[in-house]
Amino acid sequence: MLISYIQESDKTKISSNYDSPNYYVDNCSSIIPFSKREKGSLIFGLIGQKKISKIIVDSISMLGRNQIDVLNTIDFLIINNVSLTSKDEGLETMDEFGRVKSDTILLLNLLKSLANMEYTNRKESQRYGVSKAKDLGRYKGVGGKQLESIEEFFEKPKTVNILRHLRRGESIRRTAKLVGASTGLVQKVKRWSIDNNKLQMF
């Protein structure tokens, strides 16, 4: 089944033309992860039942504002052999034979780089804030070390990459080799993802 997906935060801009059964419209903020939206969650469920083969969006931004979330969503579609077409970017992830196109690989690499930049910039900003707080005598970290939240851990580019391979069914040892990480780190990611319901989030 081919469907069109629309995300619009302003309800007055949602056209009556979207009443067709093949249109899935989320009236919500774009910062909400795709898998957490009402229609987005429904689409994931239908994909799991092999009922959707292609999704059309006006823009990649319809999928979300967080690069990591968008990357995970596109990766999920590819794993489940669902083609994604984005009109504004002129992108179609798969050809007529169901093969992933080369420009899709470039896009995923770009998103990965952007996610890495976003994470690095955020950490640098945090370090700067901690440094300023220390100068003012206001830093209250344990032992002078800033604690890392679970969400920050799962937003790390290496953690995201490890999860992608684990979701594809790769073993701990092979995932460690593909990502260039220790088996201990991969085991930690797997254990924490199971505890926080992230390994099977799609």
What residue segments make up the domains of the chain, in order of their start? Answer: 1-147, 149-202
Dihedral angle over CA of 177, 181, 186, 188, nearest 10:
160
pTM of the model: 0.57
pLDDT of residue 143: 52
d(CA 148, CA 151): 8
Higher pLDDT, 121 or 98: 98
CATH of domain 1-147: 3.40.50.1390
Average pLDDT on 26-53 reads 92
Quick one: pLDDT at residue 90?
A: 86
- CA distances, 36 to each of 28, 135, 178 (Å): 11, 40, 29
Residues 6+ apart with CB under 8 A from 6: 14, 18, 23, 24, 25, 26, 57, 58, 62
Q: Is the pLDDT at 139 greater than 80, yes or no?
A: no
Nearest to 40 by CA among 77, 12, 11: 77
